[in-house]
Amino acid sequence: MAKMNLLQAINNALDIAMEEDDSTLCFGEDVGHFGGVFRATSNLQEKYGKHRCFNTPLVEQGILGFANGLAAQGSRPVAEIQFADYIFPAFDQIVNESAKFRYRSGNEFNVGKLTIRTPYGGGIAGGLYHSQSPEAYFAHTPGLKIVVPRNPYQAKGLLLASIRDDNPVVFFEPKKLYRASVGEVPEDDYQIPLGKAEIVKQGTDITLLGWGAQMETLEKAAVMAEKQGVSCEIIDLRTILPWDVDTVAASVTKTGRLLINHEAPLTGGFAGEIAATIQDKCFLNLESPIARVCGLDTPFPLAHEKEYMPDELKTFEAIMASINY
Amino acid sequence: MNTEKYPQGRVVHSPEYIDGLAVDIPILKILKQDGSLYDGADMPSIDQAHAEKIYKTLAFHRVLDERMIASQRQGRLSFYMAALGEEAATVGSAAALDDEDMIMAQYREQGALIYRGFSLENFMNQMFSNERDLGKGRQMPIHYGSQDKHYMTVSSPLATQVPQAAGYAYGQKLQGNNKITICYLGEGAASEGDFHAGLNMAAVHQAPVIFFCRNNGYAISTPSTEQYAGNGIASRGVGYDIKTIRVDGNDILAVLKATQEARKYAVEESKPVLIEAMSYRLGAHSTSDDPSGYRTKEEEAKYAQHDPILRMKNWMLAQQWWTEEQDKSLFDEYREQVLAAVKVAEVIEKPAIEELITDVYDQPTPALEQQLEQLKQHIKKYPDAYPVTAGRIK
């Protein structure tokens, strides 16, 4: 075990992936010698050469188009989009190409070896264009897998699983936690399975569900609620698509209540999808309406970031409202 | 600052602007319409057997297009896209490649696939989206793809194959197998962002890819005069420092020559090449389109005189490599073959309903399995409403 922050864990996972497979490539804007603006790819160019870890021109649709071609060819690209806010020029290449390659060709061709890494989320005073959580846009697209780690241990295990998974994966990294989250991480190779949620804490009165950086918020809110005598079960979804319905439904069947928290705006957010599915699976077990604590339906603001965020106080309030419904 | 690449041009002390049209881009022509060669023309590498294969590909292509348009008019086929008038561009370029070079097509490049020997049955099965379609009945007609023939399955969104071709070729280069990628596109697709992204990526990362632009004058109804300003698509290649050539796209020998040299350069230098083939789309964009709404019969008649297949035939006759009798029997034979194949393919069953959920992921997810099961139960309850699948559900 070693102490690593989330970036070091990602760097370590990339190092292992490049070491084991010569066809694994890391590229994106400033990814080469500089190591990426957050330094996630530090030292990889020095170790594996400019042909396997390199800077691309500033062209997101080009990065993803290039990555799709590489993956179809049999290489294993790990493409970085510098901020998730800037993934949209590549939207067509991801949604129409990466996601549909295997299906449209009848499996004559696929881009299953593709992984897209991108930092997402608020909490760094980044304003409108350095703070978005666009997972719901991609969650509407069959053929993709969407993964969000919450700490360094997960980041390494989930990223290695994503790189080796035989489907295109969009891997959202909570940039607020890049350096803030430090933990014990095994130096050896390990994987955390995709598509499986993790029960972080057992409880009996309400299920709190989230992913990525918001898991910390849920944990803080749970401490506040426990002081009021409310026992919270906390689940980290980890994979947004395809998501682990069974684990969430089993938990809600037990607790009778569900609260979902995400940073992205409420309307059309992935919490809506979860709520619809869980009310279908658990209708007779529910003791109160499913609560959603999310970002406002505004662009992510700069000055009022704290007000915008679905923080622990808002979450605590929603827990108590559910309990007292 | 790294000044290595900083332009070191002629210095002037009063403003001199550069006009894009002033860039002198020659056009390569080798074969005249009557089958004779231009004086001093530099011939491609071609012998009688190769020429016959190329010509037979062109003939088959013409017959396939004519028959399938007729089938569409008869309501037997949902949709078709012919390449009437520009067959030489794709067939001539494909004939310059190694069979294992990757072809990434736009959609009007059946000629390259015919040249590679994709079977008539495979063409038909795709167009009729039956259970033997390699694509499992998921895309519209003409969206072919074959791992075996190194022909990437066609995608409808325009120009998405351009940056993909750069990536594919980069992967080939790293593997050092001396294979390249050819990426076809139309002049309309060259307006998309992906075109510029793809050329820039290929140039910067030195990918052995041939970008082959069929400049056929129209993108559906929009003429090239409304598609771009400046000196065609070739001038874009120059801007990205991609070695570029413009050829007469109806001149099969010019296309072959240019592509043979482009391939050699791409392999030896590991760099991209752009070929702009000037042609004219004599037919409609697709069977859903009617060109009489945007161009005159006179214009079409003028370009019909540049028929690339007739041009090659004239050359073959002049070489005494071909006769009119051979020609007639070849076309008759192909017409018969295609008609017979239509009759076979159109009655083959549609893919099994289970194929609805395969290939979304490498394995169907629990949600997909559940949705399929619900669908099957529903169809069993209302079999009359789903006649294609109802009788086949176990």
- What confidence tens digit (pLDDT) does each residue in B318-336 have? 999 999 999 999 999 999 9
**ipTM for this model:** 0.94
- Angle (CA) B137-A112-B115 rounded to 5° is 50
- If you compute the radius of gyration of chain A from its CA atoms, what whole number of angstroms results? 19
- The closest alpha carbon to A79, from A45, A115, A53, A48, belongs to A115
Residues of chain A contacting B365 with CB distance shorter than 8 Å: 195, 242
Mean predicted confidence (pLDDT) in A303-312: 96
Residues of chain B contacting A33 with CB distance shorter than 8 Å: none
Residues of chain A contacting B160 with CB distance shorter than 8 Å: 65, 68, 92-93, 96-97
- What is the side-by-side strand order in the sheet with A206-210? A198-201, A232-236, A206-210, A258-265, A291-295
Q: Select the residue of A59, A92, A246 nearest B157 (Cβ to Cβ).
A: A92
pTM, 2 dp: 0.96
- The closest alpha carbon to A54, from B269, B173, B240, belongs to B173
- The closest alpha carbon to A276, from A238, A249, A300, A254, belongs to A249
For chain B, what percent of residues have pLDDT higher than 90?
93
> Is the N-terminal amide bond of A57 cis, ω within 30° of 0?
no
Confidence of residue A212 (pLDDT cuts 50, 70, 90): very high
- What tokens does A236 get? 């980290």
Mean predicted confidence (pLDDT) in B271-278: 98
Residues of chain B contacting A89 with CB distance shorter than 8 Å: 193
> Looking at CA atoms only, how far is residue A1 from chain B in angstroms?
33
CB atoms A109 and B152 under 8 Å: yes
- Residue A183 to residue A209: CA distance in whole angstroms: 22
B59-90 pLDDT, tens digit per residue, is 999 999 999 999 999 999 999 999 999 999 99
Q: Are residues A182 and A4 in contact, defined by beta-carbon separation less than 8 angstroms?
A: yes
Ramachandran angles phi, psi of B293, nearest 5°: -75, -15
Q: DSSP code of B31?
A: B
Residues 276-305, chain A, touching B (beta carbon < 8 A): none
| Residue B8 scores a pLDDT above 90 | no
Q: Are residues A55 and A32 in contact, defined by beta-carbon separation less than 8 angstroms?
A: yes
Distance of alpha carbon A133 from the chain centroid: 9
| Residue B1 scores a pLDDT above 60 | no
Q: DSSP code of B15?
A: -
- The closest alpha carbon to B331, from B2, B65, B24, belongs to B65
Q: Choose from B144, B170, B201, B361 for mutation: most chain A CBs within 10 A.
A: B361
Q: Select the residue of A23, A69, A108 nearest B163 (Cβ to Cβ).
A: A69
CB atoms B147 and A108 under 8 Å: yes
Q: DSSP code of A225?
A: H
Ramachandran angles phi, psi of B209, nearest 5°: -130, 140
Question: What integer pLDDT is reported at residue A86 of this predicted model?
Answer: 97
CB atoms A242 and B164 under 8 Å: no
Per the prediction, chain A carries an average pLDDT of 98
For chain A, what percent of residues have pLDDT higher than 70?
100
